[in-house]
Amino acid sequence: MCGIVGYVGKKDAVPLLIEGLKRLEYRGYDSAGVAVVADRKLGVVKTVGRLSNLESQLLRQPLAGSVAVGHTRWATHGAPSEVNAHPHCDCDGRIAVVHNGIIENYHALRASLEAAGHTFYSQTDTEVLPHMIEAALRDGAACLGDAIRAALTQARGAYALGIVSADCPDVLYAARQGSPLIIGIGEDGDRFIASDVPAVLSRVREVIYLNDGEYAELRDGGVRIWNIKGDEISPKVERVTLSAEAADQSGFETYMLKEIHEQPRVLRRLLERNPLFGGGADFGLKPDYFRKLQRVMIVGCGTASHAGMYGRLLLEQYTGLAVEIDLASEFRYRDPRIDPGTLIIPVSQSGETADTLASVRLAKQWGCRVLAICNVPGSSLTRESDAVLFTEAGPEIGVASTKAYTAQQMAFALLAIWIGSIRGTLGDADVQSLLAELAQVPDAIHYVLDRKDLIRVIAHKHCDAPSALYLGRKFNYPTALEGALKNKEISYQHAEGYAAGEMKHGPIALINEYVPVICVCTKTRDEVYDKMISNMREVEARQGRIIALASDGDTQIVRFAQDVIFVPAVRDDFSPIVNVVALQLFAYYAAQARGTDIDKPRNLAKSVTVE
């Protein structure tokens, strides 16, 4: 969603802001803007659309200065427009604010500010902030920092803020409540703020993760932090372990293709580095907790929820625990019978998804322990959970999740085997053989990647169909859902994922000679294989175009399918981690043929930080 970059130092700020905002483009946005302080004046330039529009406007209307904030906006309150784009200013145009999040009580705040004579131009919730700061200064706040604190004590909701003022030409302020914001420490006194580390990865090797309820003052060479009560806090500086290349495209035509290809390496590293086996399992919750555990509730959104569905099957099979999964956006409004003995497992790439975080906060109120599966160190989710299993996939820039998904699947596999070993539902021999078979998954994915040319041919053949159906059962039911989600989000082809057993209960009505039906029917010892074949016969009888995803060596499958994508045979429990890679490539090449913006599909945001 929205992106923030701010700078204070000795350099010309605008090129640094544009560089940082470009690295945040993947989060999704519809307009952009910058505010620069120079010679005790504030210059603001905003445009609708891509950052290239902002760059062109900045050529016509140049801004120079070394204290500045920039923003990419993903519209929530008010349509995408220049006037609604950030930064927003006070009445005198001397204070500029960029904001991620939502000020929930902005209606009331705006009404009282308007009654006091403030003039508003936009429909945004954000615009109340510069006016509140202005009002606090008029009411006698001793300095800009005090005025910001006074404004924040009245604002309810979520925010990450960057603030500059023409009257304080050497400082950049930042604040955080519920939306991520980091401070980057660069060379030569450079200080940055950003909503995500990759934005400033090429410029900083040390960061400070601002906590909720804190605000910061950044100067050339200095950072000070206070809590909302005004007590100064000593900053905790952390080294950035990611390399700058981790956020680069590395010669691939898109980030998504690069990230699809990174999967064998990511999964190998996760297997090697996992804290569960060999590493002493000291990741926040002790083995004894898992011995006594009765029940697990998994929550997540979108792709992460599909990983959770797969995780449920593994946990049930290996641990004997009662396991449920729900969409975080539903879970938070249900009235579930959750007792303090239930372990909550939120799954999230970004660790900032609003619904997932809200579910975790509820569960904590109920006294539950929380074990997060998450990709982003320092994210809100990792900070609010009792324990974290990091997926270690590195920055995922393509909006459609790929490597984070297979890493979540692998994390669930490791967790389920580990809990099974602790609870004694898996013996030593079972654990060893499961781990040995899991270790074959990265190589199997390599083989899938090697067959991408064939997958491209099949994808191009079917990409013009009005709609596609994805079917799978048991372990590969989530694979069918994820395959369909990938297809619709990047190629815009309508696609539905279904449990194959449900086909006769409705979706079979959709089948005709124009509808490709992608059937996930890989097998080794799979008891649902024959059922999948029956479903394929039913599709065939209605002239559906069957594309089968089958295991190497399955000689009978060609009789039932128009096209077959063969993948290496791995144990059924782990086949979804391999199979989904073929479906990622299938969706990728369909999107390529349809000419969409693959890394930044329309209307989508990488990190959904609002409800």
**In this chain, which of 85, 128, 210, 304 binds ligand F6R, going by CB under 6 A?**
304
Q: Which stretch binds ligand F6R (CB under 6 A): 114-122, 273-281, 347-355, 466-474?
A: 347-355
Two structure tokens written together for 110:
């705006």
For ligand F6R, the closer of residues 304 and 314 by Cβ is 304
Helix (H, G, I), strand (E, B) or coil at 64: coil
* 607 is a contact residue toward ligand F6R (CB under 6 A): yes
For residue 311, the minimal CB distance to ligand F6R (Å) is 13
Cα 587 from chain centroid (whole Å)? 19
| Cα-only R_g, the chain | 25
For ligand F6R, the closer of residues 304 and 515 by Cβ is 304
b (16+ CB within 10 A) / e for 366-380: eebbbbbbbbbbbbb
For residue 120, the minimal CB distance to ligand F6R (Å) is 32
Sign of the Cα torsion 493, 499, 502, 504 reads positive
Q: How far apart are CA 536 and CA 469, in angstroms?
A: 12
* 599 is a contact residue toward ligand F6R (CB under 6 A): no
Does 11 qualify as catalytic in the annotation? Answer: no
For residue 379, the minimal CB distance to ligand F6R (Å) is 9
* CB contact at 8 A, 300 and 308: yes
Q: Which residue has the tokens 């694979």?
A: 479
Catalytic residue among 2, 168, 301, 374: 2
Q: Which stretch binds ligand F6R (CB under 6 A): 58-66, 299-307, 334-342, 493-501?
A: 299-307
Per-residue binding string, ligand F6R, 399-418, x by CB under 6 A, is -xx-----------------
Q: Which stretch binds ligand F6R (CB under 6 A): 272-280, 345-353, 416-424, 570-578?
A: 345-353
For residue 179, the minimal CB distance to ligand F6R (Å) is 14
**In this chain, which of 165, 303, 385, 479 binds ligand F6R, going by CB under 6 A?**
303
For residue 325, the minimal CB distance to ligand F6R (Å) is 14
For residue 372, the minimal CB distance to ligand F6R (Å) is 10
Does 606 qualify as catalytic in the annotation? Answer: yes
Two structure tokens written together for 353:
């998804």
* 395 is a contact residue toward ligand F6R (CB under 6 A): no
Smallest CA-to-CA distance from 71 within 29, 129, 10 is with 29
* 350 is a contact residue toward ligand F6R (CB under 6 A): yes
* CB contact at 8 A, 299 and 325: yes
For residue 82, the minimal CB distance to ligand F6R (Å) is 28
Smallest CA-to-CA distance from 326 within 314, 338, 340, 341 is with 338
Give the start-end residues of each E strand in 401-486. Answer: 467-472
For ligand F6R, the closer of residues 84 and 356 by Cβ is 356
**In this chain, which of 90, 127, 212, 489 binds ligand F6R, going by CB under 6 A?**
489
Q: Which stretch binds ligand F6R (CB under 6 A): 344-352, 524-532, 552-560, 568-576?
A: 344-352
Q: Which stretch binds ligand F6R (CB under 6 A): 43-51, 272-280, 346-354, 444-452?
A: 346-354
* 301 is a contact residue toward ligand F6R (CB under 6 A): yes
For residue 169, the minimal CB distance to ligand F6R (Å) is 37
Give the start-end residues of each E strand in 486-544. Answer: 494-499, 516-520
Sign of the Cα torsion 351, 353, 355, 358 reads positive
Half-sphere exposure of 52 (CA within 13 A, CB side): 0
Please tell me the total number of residues recorded for the chain in this structure.
Answer: 611
**In this chain, which of 356, 382, 535, 551 binds ligand F6R, going by CB under 6 A?**
356
* CB contact at 8 A, 144 and 138: no
Q: Which stretch binds ligand F6R (CB under 6 A): 71-79, 267-275, 298-306, 542-550?
A: 298-306
**In this chain, which of 510, 564, 582, 608 binds ligand F6R, going by CB under 6 A?**
608
Closest residue to ligand F6R, judged by C-beta, is 302
* CB contact at 8 A, 416 and 317: yes
For ligand F6R, the closer of residues 91 and 604 by Cβ is 604
For residue 233, the minimal CB distance to ligand F6R (Å) is 28
b (16+ CB within 10 A) / e for 544-572: bbbbbbbbeebeebeebbbbbbbbbbbbb
For residue 58, the minimal CB distance to ligand F6R (Å) is 31
Bridge partner list, 158? 102
DSSP string, 464-497: TSSEEEEEE-GGGHHHHHHHHHHHHHHH--EEEE
Q: Which stretch binds ligand F6R (CB under 6 A): 173-181, 210-218, 232-240, 295-303?
A: 295-303
Instruction: Output 329-337 pairs: Cβ under 8 A, ≥24 positions apart.
Output: 329/301, 329/355, 329/611, 331/297, 331/299, 331/359, 331/362, 332/358, 332/359, 332/362, 336/297
For ligand F6R, the closer of residues 254 and 356 by Cβ is 356
Catalytic residue among 258, 452, 523, 606: 606
> What are the distances in angstroms from CA 59 to CA 42, 54, 63, 65?
17, 9, 9, 15
For ligand F6R, the closer of residues 186 and 302 by Cβ is 302
Kindly determine how many residues on this chain lie close enough to bind ligand F6R according to the rule CB under 6 A.
Answer: 15
For residue 447, the minimal CB distance to ligand F6R (Å) is 24
Q: Which stretch binds ligand F6R (CB under 6 A): 84-92, 265-273, 297-305, 502-510?
A: 297-305
Of 126-145, binders to ligand F6R (CB under 6 A) are: none
* 353 is a contact residue toward ligand F6R (CB under 6 A): yes
* 493 is a contact residue toward ligand F6R (CB under 6 A): no
In this structure, what DSSP letter does residue 196 have? S
Q: How far apart are CA 233 and CA 610, in angstroms?
A: 28
Q: How far apart are CA 521 and CA 509, in angstroms?
A: 21
Per-residue binding string, ligand F6R, 459-488, x by CB under 6 A, is --------------------------x---
Q: How far apart are CA 538 and CA 473, in angstroms?
A: 15
For ligand F6R, the closer of residues 301 and 362 by Cβ is 301
For residue 312, the minimal CB distance to ligand F6R (Å) is 17
Smallest CA-to-CA distance from 195 within 231, 149, 161, 158 is with 161
* 72 is a contact residue toward ligand F6R (CB under 6 A): no
Of 575-594, binders to ligand F6R (CB under 6 A) are: none
Sign of the Cα torsion 315, 321, 326, 332 reads negative
Residues at the site binding ligand F6R, with contacts judged by CB under 6 A = 301-304, 348-350, 353, 356, 400-401, 485, 489, 607-608
Catalytic residues: 2, 606
